[in-house]
Amino acid sequence: MSKLIATSAIRGAHSLYNRAEAAYNAALAAKGADEPVSFPDTAYYLPVAYALLAIKVKTLGDIKPVLAKAKSMLPEIPAEGAWLPYLGNTLDSGIAALLSEEIIEAMKYVMGPNPVEGIWLGATDDVIVRTQGIKLVDGSMPGFAAVVGAAPTTEEAVKLATELRERNILLFMAGETDGKTMADQLNEAGVEMGWDVYLVPFGRDISAAVYALGVAARAAMTFGGITPAGMKEAREILMYNKNRVFAFVIALGDVDDEKYATAAGAINFGFPVIANTDIPQILPTGITTYEHVVSNVPLDKIVDTAVEVRGIKIKITKIPIPVSFGSAFEGERIRKEAMFVEFGGQKSPAFEYLRMRDMDDIDNGKIEVIGPEIDQMEEGKAYPLGILIEVAGRKMQSDFEPVLERQLHHLVNGAEGIWHMGQRDMNWMRISKSAHDKGFKIEHFGEILKAKLMDDFPAIVDKIQIKLYTDADKMKDVLEEARAAFIARDERVAGLIDESVDTFYSCTLCQSFAPNHVCVISPERLGLCGAYNWLDAKAAHEINPTGANQPIIKGETIDERRGQWSGVNELVRAKSNNSVQKVNAYSIMEDPETSCGCFECVVAILPIANGVMVVNREHTGETPVGMKFSSLAGSVGGGAQTPGFLGVGRQYITSGKFIAAEGGFKRIVWMPKELKEALAGQLKKRSEALGLPDFVDMIADETIGTTEEEVMEYMAKVGHPALEMDSLLG
Amino acid sequence: MALTGIDIFKQLPKTNCGDCGVPTCLAFAMKIAAGQAELAGCPHLSEDAASALSEASAPPIRAVTIGVGEDAVKVGGELVLYRHEKTFFNPCVFAAVIDDGMDAATIDGLLKQTNESRFVRVEQDLKAGLVGVKSLSGDTAKFTALIEKVKAATTQPMVLMCGDPAAIEAGLKAAGETSPLIYAATADNYEAMAALALEHKAPLAVCGTGDLDALVELVKKIMAAGVKDIVLDPGTRNPKDTLERLVYIRRAALNKKVKELGFPTIVFPNEETEDKMMEAVYAGLYVGKYGSVIMLSDLNAARALPLYVLRQNIYTDPQRPMQVKPGIYPIGNPTADSPVLITSNFSLTYFIVSGEVEGSRVPAWLCVMDTEGLSVMTSWAAGKFVPEKIVPFIKGVGIEEKVKHRKLVIPGYLATMSGELEDELEGWNVEVGPREAADIPPFLKSWAS
Amino acid sequence: MEVKETYNGKIREATIGLGDTAVTVGGETSLPLYMFEGTAPNKPVIALEVYDTKPEDWPEAAVAPYADVLDDPVKWALKCQDEYKADMICLNLASTNPSTGDRTGADIAPIVKAVSDAIKIPLIVYGTANADKDAEVMPKAAEACQGKRALIGPVEEENYKTVAAAALGFDHLAAPHSPIDVNIAKQLNILITQLGLAPERVIIDPTTGALGYGLEYCYSVMERLRLAAMTQNDSMTQMPMINQIGREVWKAKEVKTPEADEPAWGDAETRGVLWEALTATALIMAGSNILVMRHPKAVELTRQFVAALTG
């Protein structure tokens, strides 16, 4: 912390204290100690004093201990050139300043002039705190700004007010610069003010700024359920504000001592100060969530800076595009005749790629079309389109890139008259004639993605910028980088093994119909529905920490071969309502995992053939185990452990951990032809990795037989390795 | 701990001979494990294996059959305390009690109710199940006359109610070999009653005194006499005590394997209150909490229907939802211009959607597709409510002959397939309806205007 | 016989209203109605429904008890309180439904205030479960009855921040509403308590299915919540529960159809009353603490049932 600020703040606090003491003594002399003192319509007395000191001021006499406390917190004004341990002292002086300011304002209610006069609103009643507080809690009002001083010009004042209002940020005004206040400026410009329009002029005096902290303190008491009692509660009230009330101070014009002191008070609440003048900065984070004081910010950047420094999330309620948006349009198709232009689909180069950047590298909200816009495109033709989405977030991880990128399909399809399929550099999009007629442009892809990614993933996306390349040459480099990234991602996924992580994830999405079922999702065993792999579950947990995907610390290894860990057992026990005591992640015979009902495939043992068969959901015919998929599903599903049977996702079949306890992949003796073909590449790769290049051909299918006997005949003929393996039944 | 399919399989011949009607031994084992097949189905089972398995696979609560032929009812056989754990298997049955002190008109009225109290709901035939015939007078002749009258009037199996073994003996003869439920053996008459039950192959109710330990002792003796099919009356006659006993009986059978309590139960709400509405409310308690045979004073339709529906709800398999018949359901006299909606045949979906359509007062055609009883989203996810299934259904169900227009409203949650469906469903326009049923009325109103 | 269970969990007590007429629910130490294994210091209570506008589609049997007050929510509420001895009033803001009345929060605030000022017994105020609309309406409704410690619902996953904040800000209780799903019910409770609402101010609305219309789903979900609360001591399932029974029951086909149309179904009033009473009692068996009901005769049967089973 700058010594300059510290010294000013301390001086300011002394000055405010002296004013408070003088006003108090005058009131006491005129009215006596029993004179009632209150702000109108509040059950919180003088709210700052009540919140921080637990003192219920009802009469003039009750103010005495408040003044005494303020005085006790006033540090010595440091001598010129003396070193001083600043932060604690400065913060204390801030509290002393707020307590003093509250007394100054309260004395106005006792002695006059009434703070409510002309444009000035004075103290805030409880109903308004509650009504506005709801908006703060639910996020429809992302935060509030307390402006002290005046803007350089009336126009700039109006512009600042408009910018804040556009973001639904409540603006409190108090204090003047050179005899002028921001509220005066708005008034001159004919701007209507009041709570309804989010512009609240408290008072001309800097001491009126304390009303903003009074609102903050009451928000904490009302919505945080904190009843003042002492230091602990006072700290809770301050912490509530730091963590939940996204407020900040905008200091306009010269910052005098009393303003510094007030700002120091606000910092106690975790509210940072943004100034348009060149005052010393305090950047290291600590008391406030991020920076404390950021100075010399041009007026037109002040709102963005404030929003960023305070970490405020603005809700986008309507996407600014000329066509409707909603899930009802997701399934629309656009036929060739109805199409205006298309992108990708082998007809033109196209890609979609989302990557993570550093916070500072992103110009938040910027959408850039690089190349021709739609008005330079001809009907019926295909054009290049590269979509590069860059996001940053304090909780963003590169592993979440593909998770967010996959959202693109569903998001773009939500726009009426826009169609999307595929992914990565194999995507395909169309804009319909009707969407084009309504004015849909290339940049609107950016608007959709910006709005939805920010809105749907606030936990991980803090900032976003989007580049839309419609010029094939200019997108070359990015496309190359994207392709390299796709390969790197695939390698990362392929390289992830269960042993390389200490955390798995649970999935209990299906408990609505399988009450005791828990999926344990590990890098090598995706959810049995096939929809959630380990990375997805990890991201889902980050996005929704109370949701269906919870981290499982593996804990102690109980059985390495069968895949049993203490942490997994504990979690499964708890989440299965105590009905499953232990699970072996890699076994089908002994304490296998349960299955809900959504599995893509069922693995069943063929005990006489000493192997297993796999049947996928789409296969409706007979199988060698003597049950069709539907009756197998009935036996396996519902969340009970069923030795000999396992519901799995398709990708698990070729995982290195596929029923590893029973010998793994080499146990497979039968699967439907369709499934074999769908997984041909992976099956081949896995066979080769096991040193059995011809293994896939040893797996029987329905064209070879649908009885265990036929399968055994075939196995004997081809020399299937399962014949030589240990008996499945032990 | 129930046996797994693998445990059972190990005892089977492992020949996949198919003589049991199931292609493989493992599949047969899985059926036994699920309670869908009996061990006796395997003709090649070794004696050792049979005894090893039957001991372990015997259900903790015996399923008891009352009556013979088509109208016989099976009660008990339950495996769980809470229906969500698996399901309640054999629906409880109701019986109106007719006694020999009633005048002829009352008796005729009750017999008429017994025969006519039938409702069809979600493809299920709802009825009482039994009829109670009670000797109030103690006069054997009057009792047998009444039994003969009931037997002539209805095919519903009887509960013969009298504490005197001699009267029961006469009653059993009058009833013919119809396996009625004998009510009841007590500590005083159990030897004679047990002998009658064995002789006439009739299940026997055992009436306790409220003391479950005493009931266990009594049942032990009756079992020792060779009676297998037993129904338990805890002997209490107020709902608070009865509930407690029924909970303890079910728990003892399932959790503690108390064999003497591993039987279905019989309860008497008709004797627990004079008020017929309260009687129905108490009957409802026993539908949910472990009553198997529930005795009523009558089967008045306005009280019976809600009880039957409650039983239907409670005894639905939570993992196998109730289904309605696929087809076209006209709601409110629709015309050739009325809207056409499609939904799944999950009964709850159907009920809610049809209710909202009805509530909108816009006549409409509701096409209900066979989704195997799955709800809209689940069936879509399972590939049962997708264009390739919808197209043949719409083309084949006959809706094209009923309406002039070609506009099909699909559930809002299926918006993602609207385009694909429109491509494949030739000649039709696909419209996306609301996601929630509650929004159907405004949707239809604006559709119609 | 050693089959008595001991439970390690307990349902929280929640108090609605203030002063002498406040009603406390919850506090059970066993599964519902299992008086032989625990205590239930507070019996299930019954709230009678009042609507902010005259209902148009009620069957005759449901209209009859209220025929003289249906167009005046205040008189209606007083009749429920004074004549039918309701434990609470549930004011349904049906006219705010966007597809029917679409009235705003400002429109209904005076009604909420009038009803809340007129009655002595505790108030429940319910929106239409339209998440966006309720987010606009319920803060106004909560403000209109501030100081009464009412129960505000339904709080949906999509609007919990706003509606629960309204309950929090105006010092009421909140009823999170989950779609027949144990995990969503728990999750919503976690979210709401994280927002700052004490767990003692939360009443679970698990979604109510009427007899024949999804009752079994509701029954099992509630039973599961209660089992988790009692046997696993799962804190986020230990709140009391509320069921909206009247409005679900009285739209069922078997309840609305007059005897003239279906003679085989018997007297319509008897049928409707029992339909409602059986729905209510089944849900008490599953763990309901607050039953929002319509017909006074069904209320009477439910009360007798509670008295007989817990007395």
pLDDT for res B373: 82
B406 Cα to chain A: minimum distance (Å): 18
CATH number at residue B401: 3.40.50.11600
Q: What's the mean pLDDT when you consider all of chain A?
A: 90
**Same structural domain, A276 and A335:** no
Q: Are A259 and A12 in contact (CB under 8 A)?
A: yes
pLDDT for res A82: 55
* Residue type (1 letter), B96: A
As a whole number, mean pLDDT of residues A365-370 equals 94
Number of domains in chain B: 3
Query: d(Cα C86, Cα C96) in Å, to the nearest integer?
Result: 25
Residue B419's nearest CA partner among C163, C251, A420, A727 is A420
CB contact under 8 A, A642 and B4: yes
Cβ atoms within 10 Å of A197's Cβ, excluding its own: 13
pTM above 0.95, yes or no: no
Q: The tokens of C58 are what?
A: 């009620």
Query: d(Cα C200, Cα C183) in Å, to the nearest integer?
Result: 19
CATH number at residue A630: 3.40.1470.10
- Classify strands A428-432 and A339-344 as parallel, antiparallel or unpaired: antiparallel
Residue A260's nearest CA partner among A235, A241, A279 is A279
Q: What is the DSSP string of C119-148?
A: -SS-EEEE--S-HHHHHHHHHHHHHHTTTS
Query: d(Cα B63, Cα B311) in Å, to the nearest integer?
Result: 18
pLDDT for res A83: 53
pLDDT for res A419: 92
Q: How far, rounded to the nearest angstrom, does the alpha carbon of residue A336 sit from its chain's CA centroid?
A: 39
H-type alpha helices, B176-238: 190-199, 212-224
CATH number at residue C139: 3.20.20.20
pLDDT for res A512: 67
Nearest to C285 among B288, B302, B439 (CB): B288
**Same structural domain, A117 and A250:** yes
Assess if residue C14 is contained within a domain: no
Assess if residue B300 is contained within a domain: yes
CATH number at residue B213: 3.20.20.20
Nearest to B415 among A327, A514, A625 (CB): A327
Q: Phi then psi for A636, rounded to 5 degrees?
A: -90, -35
A135 Cα to chain C: minimum distance (Å): 7
B10, B87, B416, B420: best mutation site toward chain A, by most A Cβ within 10 Å?
Answer: B416
**Same structural domain, A227 and A354:** no
Query: d(Cα A220, Cα A51) in Å, to the nearest integer?
Result: 9
**Same structural domain, A27 and A166:** yes
Residues 6+ positions from B333 with CB-CB distance below 8 Å: B363
**Same structural domain, A89 and A182:** yes
Structural domain that includes position B406: 327-448
Query: d(Cα C165, Cα A133) in Å, to the nearest integer?
Result: 8
Residue B251's nearest CA partner among C284, C286, C4, C225 is C4
Q: For chain B, how far is it from start to end, CA to CA, in angstroms?
A: 62
Query: d(Cα C221, Cα B369) in Å, to the nearest integer?
Result: 27
Assess if residue C10 is contained within a domain: no
The model's pLDDT over A311-332, given as tens digits with 9 standing for 90+, comes to 777 666 678 999 988 877 877 8
CB contact under 8 A, A140 and C162: yes
Cα distances (Å, whole numbers) of residue A636 to A29, A613, B47, B439: 86, 14, 29, 37
Residues 6+ positions from B136 with CB-CB distance below 8 Å: B99, B100, B101
CB contact under 8 A, A512 and C183: yes
CA-nearest residue of chain C to B272?
Answer: C308
CATH number at residue A412: 3.30.1650.10
Q: The tokens of A9 are what?
A: 């703040």
The model's pLDDT over A154-165, given as tens digits with 9 standing for 90+, comes to 999 999 999 888
**Same structural domain, A233 and A348:** no
**Same structural domain, A604 and A712:** yes
Residue at a domain's end among B273, B292, B314: B314
**Same structural domain, B172 and B131:** yes
Structural domain that includes position A342: 327-471
Query: d(Cα A226, Cα A216) in Å, to the nearest integer?
Result: 13
CB contact under 8 A, B26 and A331: no
The model's pLDDT over A437-479, given as tens digits with 9 standing for 90+, comes to 999 999 999 999 999 998 888 888 988 999 999 999 999 999 9
CB contact under 8 A, C219 and B314: yes
Given CB atoms, is B16 within the 8 Å cutoff of chain A? yes
Query: d(Cα A63, Cα A50) in Å, to the nearest integer?
Result: 11
**Same structural domain, B272 and B362:** no
Query: d(Cα A711, Cα A704) in Å, to the nearest integer?
Result: 7
* Residue type (1 letter), C143: E
Given CB atoms, is B6 within the 8 Å cutoff of chain C? no
Q: Is B328 exposed, middle or buried (0-12, 13-18, 19+ CB in 10 A)?
A: middle
Strands of B100-197 (E only): list them. 118-121, 124-127, 129-134, 158-161, 181-185
Q: Are A489 and A366 in contact (CB under 8 A)?
A: no
Assess if residue B320 is contained within a domain: no
Cβ atoms within 10 Å of B404's Cβ, excluding its own: 9
Query: d(Cα B65, Cα B295) in Å, to the nearest integer?
Result: 17
Query: d(Cα B149, Cα B45) in Å, to the nearest integer?
Result: 47
pLDDT for res A80: 61
Residue with tokens 């008990």: B76
- Classify strands B204-207 and B181-185 as parallel, antiparallel or unpaired: parallel
CB contact under 8 A, C3 and B252: yes
pLDDT for res B386: 87
Query: d(Cα A594, Cα A576) in Å, to the nearest integer?
Result: 10
Q: Phi then psi for A521, rounded to 5 degrees?
A: -105, 120
**Same structural domain, B20 and B137:** no
Q: The tokens of A261 are what?
A: 């002191």
Q: Are B145 and B98 in contact (CB under 8 A)?
A: no
pLDDT for res B1: 46
Q: For chain A, how far is it from start to end, CA to CA, in angstroms?
A: 72
The model's pLDDT over A530-577, given as tens digits with 9 standing for 90+, comes to 878 898 899 889 888 878 899 999 999 999 999 999 999 999 998 887
Structural domain that includes position C145: 21-310
The CA dihedral of A162, A163, A167, A173, to the nearest 10 degrees, is -70
Low-confidence ranges of chain C (pLDDT < 50): none
Assess if residue A335 is contained within a domain: yes
Assess if residue C11 is contained within a domain: no
CB contact under 8 A, A131 and C162: no
C119 Cα to chain B: minimum distance (Å): 31
Q: How far, rounded to the nearest angstrom, does the alpha carbon of residue C198 sit from its chain's CA centroid?
A: 19
CA-nearest residue of chain A to C161?
Answer: A138
**Same structural domain, B45 and B172:** no
Residue A352's nearest CA partner among A485, A154, A256, A178 is A485
Cα distances (Å, whole numbers) of residue B142 to A537, B138, B167, B172: 74, 8, 10, 14
Q: Are A583 and A639 in contact (CB under 8 A)?
A: no
Q: Are B74 and B90 in contact (CB under 8 A)?
A: yes
As a whole number, mean pLDDT of residues A630-636 equals 84
C170 Cα to chain A: minimum distance (Å): 7
Cβ atoms within 10 Å of A67's Cβ, excluding its own: 19
Cβ atoms within 10 Å of A80's Cβ, excluding its own: 5
Q: Phi then psi for A314, rounded to 5 degrees?
A: -95, 130
- The confidence band for A284, taking pLDDT boundaries of 50, 70 and 90, is low
Query: d(Cα C25, Cα C40) in Å, to the nearest integer?
Result: 9
Assess if residue B247 is contained within a domain: yes
Assess if residue B322 is contained within a domain: no
Residue A103's nearest CA partner among A61, A132, A165 is A61
**Same structural domain, B23 and B160:** no
Cα distances (Å, whole numbers) of residue B49 to A608, A728, B16: 18, 20, 17
Secondary element (H or E) of residue B66: strand B63-66
How large a percentage of chain A has pLDDT more than 90?
A: 64
Cβ atoms within 10 Å of C228's Cβ, excluding its own: 22
Nearest to C281 among B240, B281, B438 (CB): B281
Q: The tokens of A262 are what?
A: 């007030």
- The confidence band for A3, taking pLDDT boundaries of 50, 70 and 90, is low
Assess if residue A669 is contained within a domain: yes
Assess if residue C43 is contained within a domain: yes
3-class DSSP state for residue C176? Answer: strand
Assess if residue B49 is contained within a domain: yes
Query: d(Cα A142, Cα A613) in Å, to the nearest integer?
Result: 56
**Same structural domain, A446 and A414:** yes
As a whole number, mean pLDDT of residues A394-414 equals 89
Number of domains in chain A: 3
**Same structural domain, A128 and A244:** yes
- The confidence band for A87, taking pLDDT boundaries of 50, 70 and 90, is low
Residue at a domain's end among A456, A471, A486: A471
Q: Are A362 and A463 in contact (CB under 8 A)?
A: yes
Secondary element (H or E) of residue A647: strand A645-648
**Same structural domain, A373 and A262:** no
Assess if residue B321 is contained within a domain: no
**Same structural domain, B180 and B80:** yes
**Same structural domain, B384 and B287:** no
Cβ within 8 Å of C, A 65-104: none
CA-nearest residue of chain C to B313?
Answer: C216
Assess if residue C2 is contained within a domain: no
Given CB atoms, is C20 within the 8 Å cutoff of chain B? no
Number of domains in chain C: 1
3-class DSSP state for residue A265? Answer: helix
Assess if residue C8 is contained within a domain: no
A410, A509, A625: best mutation site toward chain B, by most B Cβ within 10 Å?
Answer: A625
Question: Which chain B residues contact residue A626 at CB under 8 A?
Answer: 16, 22-24, 26-28
Q: What is the DSSP string of B224-268?
A: HTT---EEEE----SHHHHHHHHHHHHHHHHHS--GGG-S-BEE-
Secondary element (H or E) of residue A247: strand A247-251
CB contact under 8 A, B300 and C35: no
Q: Phi then psi for B277, rounded to 5 degrees?
A: -70, -45
Assess if residue A488 is contained within a domain: no
B22, B26, B413: best mutation site toward chain A, by most A Cβ within 10 Å?
Answer: B26
**Same structural domain, A331 and A295:** no
Query: d(Cα A577, Cα A573) in Å, to the nearest integer?
Result: 6
Tens place of pLDDT per residue across chain B (449 aa): 468 889 899 889 999 999 998 999 999 998 888 777 888 889 998 888 888 887 777 788 999 999 999 999 999 999 999 998 888 999 999 999 999 999 999 999 999 999 999 999 888 899 999 999 999 988 999 999 999 999 999 999 999 999 999 999 999 999 999 999 999 999 999 999 999 999 999 999 999 999 999 999 999 999 999 999 999 999 999 999 999 999 999 999 999 989 999 999 999 999 999 999 999 999 999 999 999 999 999 999 999 999 999 999 999 988 777 788 899 999 989 999 999 999 999 888 888 898 889 878 899 999 999 988 888 887 886 678 889 899 999 999 999 999 999 999 999 888 888 888 998 999 999 999 988 887 898 889 888 77
A715 Cα to chain B: minimum distance (Å): 17
Assess if residue B231 is contained within a domain: yes
**Same structural domain, A302 and A339:** no
